[in-house]
Chain A
Amino acid sequence: MRKTLATILAASAVIAAACGGGTASPSATTAAATTAAPKAAIKLGALLPLTGPSGATGLDMKDGYELAKAQINAAGGVNGAPIDIIYEDDKNDPATAVASFEKLANNDKVEVLMGGLASTISAALIEPAKKAAIPMAWTGAAATAVEKGFTDQAFFFHYHPWEYQNSLSALAFLKSTPYKTWAIVYEDGLFGTGATDGLKTALPAQGQTVSIAEAFKTGSTDFTALLNRVKAANAEGLIIVPFAGDIIPLLTQMREVGLKPKMVYASPPSFPPDFGKSPVAEGVAGLTLWTEDIPAPASKKFVADFKAKYNHSPVSYWSALAYTNVMTAVDALKKSGVGNKAGWITAMEATSYASPLGPTLKFTPSQFIKHQGFTSLVSFQWQSGKQEIVFPADLSTAKLK
């Protein structure tokens, strides 16, 4: 028994040692699987968290990517060649992400690198990316530090609005409400702190007051003490910047301590599934890049296709963003042809895509970078279990209650 095991271990050691030299083989296998197509597959890379707590969002994005891939390949791929996407799990760990980046950029030699969710990961990729100068169609990371890091890099196209753009969208909505005093409750990570720091300076600038700002650790199950302090501050409105899992406990426990603000504005990265069905959802307003009910035709088609393929609704706006990510990156690739970095950048710059997210996607300069995609978010309110868009007026589907 022991001998056998030793042999197995020795063998696995050899394989492991050889894995570097063999890194080309995984993609070769996948390419071989699609030999039905006459031309060799064109490789794209996607760097996402696929395991661990952030894995849920990463897998939602993967669904968006796979849907786009299937549609592109069904429509003839890139000038006859199918596309193949190599997914790599970044484990939400910077060292793993950089390793994957180097593998995708140098060993797999992908045409375009897509993906991106957490700011910490993207921050660690800045230097390697500048060295490789590989075309990046990057979805996530909202932190200003990341934008600064990629200042003026021609190869870098960024889709998700930056932190300050999120804040501007939220501020515009908050200004449109009749409430003057606000309390803020935020998770103490990068996400919550970043948003709150912006609000603390910007709200007073537009004539609104922040009466209290309290942090909590995400994943705590008890917020009653915190909410008591908020109650004592007696603000008209309450802004919460939580992660998905914190929302229902927060809203429920508000009722326990008798905290009844005139309005609750929540801006998590995504709301929990079936949130609309919970009794605490009614009337809660929030900020999002997209909801599945927005009236844009491209969105309706995306939702229908998504449901047909997966038998469930998109989990969050991230799948729609990922879908847009592939569609635009491949469109540019069709125009520029394979292996033409400069051409791809020019083609991306000319992007004008009626995205499922609502607005037509164009890349324009933002504070530091040359190519920023989406620049604003919409505000919505949960009304009878549905996300009705209430701001800005030109996109709204219902009135704020």
Chain B
Amino acid sequence: MEALPQTLLFGILRSGLYALTALGLAISLGVIGVVNFAHGEFVMIGAYIGFWTYLLASGPLGLGPSVSPVVILIGIPVSALVLYLVAAGIFRVALKPVLRQPEINQMLLTFGLSIVMVNAMSIAFTAQAKDANIPWRFDLLDLGFVSVTYSRVAAFAVCALLVGGTYVLLQRSRLGKQMRAVAQNRLGAQIVGIPVDRIYEIAFGLSASLAAAAGVMLIFQTQVSPFVGLATLLKSFSIVVLAGLGNLTGVIWASLLLGIAEQVISQYVPNGAALRDGLFFVLIFVVLLARPGGLRR
């Protein structure tokens, strides 16, 4: 059991990225009601932008060891902005016309978009996975009972900050209130004069921006390839469903549950690292059977 504190710590640190990715998905699902199969691809493109930022900062700009914070400070705003514009464009051209169609059609549409994005990226930038050897990925921070890489801590901090910021935005700002109003009652929101389509567009853009930020943090953990989206998507869906649709706070709890459960299973179940995904889905299955609406109160 001596590994327990460490197991829990890694589980918690892990959940940050999960929460950030899932929050975006939860917003597009909660506010617009669109099941976005291309959400993982937003993460993927965000990761590529982060990777290019790293190349630029470490190559022509020659920033050396200080490159890690630069990737975060420049990569995240840039990729968030680019993905916001991409998502707003997608919303206007493709999503808006099908909003009144059955849910299933919207799913097929975003599924088609996901195929296009994955394959266009792999043609344009090859299918070869790329590694950003960012220094923080290797530098260790000694916490006494365990050492962790800076990237792990940074990823959690950045994600916590962005997730927290998004909550504040949704709770406090006028825009956030409008979004919640639209999420609760589209017609009512329209009647009181909220520009619903505009809110949808902003919500979809915000959702993509959060995914993009998660993508940038992903290059601190793993390789970038056009195919990182799918795994990200499945986990995010599971978190959103566990939380219960429309339950944004639940996303945090569900992410923590997933992060810690994965870590505990790998640590204490024999052959756990191979069984992890299977067992996690058993967990989802059981939760859904016990509470068909997810963990929502």
Chain B residues near A223 (CB-CB < 8 A): 266, 273
Q: Does A396 contact B (CB under 8 A)?
A: no
Asked whether B274 lies within 8 Å of A188 as measured between CB atoms, the reply is yes
Taking the closest CB of chain B, its distance from the CB of A278, in whole angstroms, is: 4
Asked whether B129 lies within 8 Å of A56 as measured between CB atoms, the reply is yes
User: Which interface class (under 10, 10 to 19, 20 to 34, 35 or more) fits B?
Assistant: 35 or more
> What separation, in Å, do the CA atoms of A155 and B38 have in the docked complex?
45
Q: Does A124 contact B (CB under 8 A)?
A: no
User: Which interface class (under 10, 10 to 19, 20 to 34, 35 or more) fits A?
Assistant: 35 or more
Question: What per-residue 1/0 map shows which CB atoms of B184-221 lie under 8 Å from chain A?
Answer: 00000000000000000000000000000000000001
> What separation, in Å, do the CA atoms of A258 and B143 have in the docked complex?
12
Within 8 A of B (CB), among A191-207: none
Given contacts A51-B127, A52-B227, A274-B133, contact A228 B276 (CB under 8 A): no
Asked whether A53 lies within 8 Å of B225 as measured between CB atoms, the reply is yes
Chain A residues near B73 (CB-CB < 8 A): none
Taking the closest CB of chain A, its distance from the CB of B170, in whole angstroms, is: 28
Chain A residues near B262 (CB-CB < 8 A): 222
Within 8 A of B (CB), among A179-198: 188
* Segment of A212-220, A320-328, A344-352 in the binding face: A212-220
Q: Does B137 contact A (CB under 8 A)?
A: yes
> What separation, in Å, do the CA atoms of A396 and B137 have in the docked complex?
32
Taking the closest CB of chain B, its distance from the CB of A315, in whole angstroms, is: 6
> What separation, in Å, do the CA atoms of A188 and B225 have in the docked complex?
21
Of the residues A55, A228, A255, A275, contact of B140 by C-beta under 8 Å = A255
> What separation, in Å, do the CA atoms of A244 and B129 have in the docked complex?
9
Given contacts A51-B119, A248-B223, A274-B133, contact A215 B274 (CB under 8 A): yes
User: Of all chain A residues, which has the CB nearest B3?
Assistant: A228
Taking the closest CB of chain B, its distance from the CB of A56, in whole angstroms, is: 4
Question: What per-residue 1/0 map shows which CB atoms of B243-267 lie under 8 Å from chain A?
Answer: 0000000000000000000111011
Taking the closest CB of chain A, its distance from the CB of B260, in whole angstroms, is: 11
Given contacts A256-B148, A258-B147, A278-B138, contact A226 B273 (CB under 8 A): yes
> What separation, in Å, do the CA atoms of A394 and B244 have in the docked complex?
64
Chain B residues near A59 (CB-CB < 8 A): 126-128
User: Of all chain B residues, which has the CB nearest A272?
Assistant: B131
Chain B residues near A280 (CB-CB < 8 A): 138
Asked whether B149 lies within 8 Å of A256 as measured between CB atoms, the reply is yes
> What separation, in Å, do the CA atoms of A263 and B263 have in the docked complex?
26
Of the residues A53, A255, A258, contact of B138 by C-beta under 8 Å = A255
A-B contact pairs, 5 of them (CB 8 A): A56-B127, A214-B273, A221-B221, A222-B266, A244-B129
Add 17 more A-B contacts to A215-B274, A224-B263 (CB < 8 A).
Answer: A52-B127, A55-B122, A188-B274, A222-B10, A225-B3, A225-B264, A225-B272, A226-B272, A228-B6, A245-B222, A248-B137, A255-B140, A256-B152, A273-B131, A275-B131, A279-B138, A315-B128
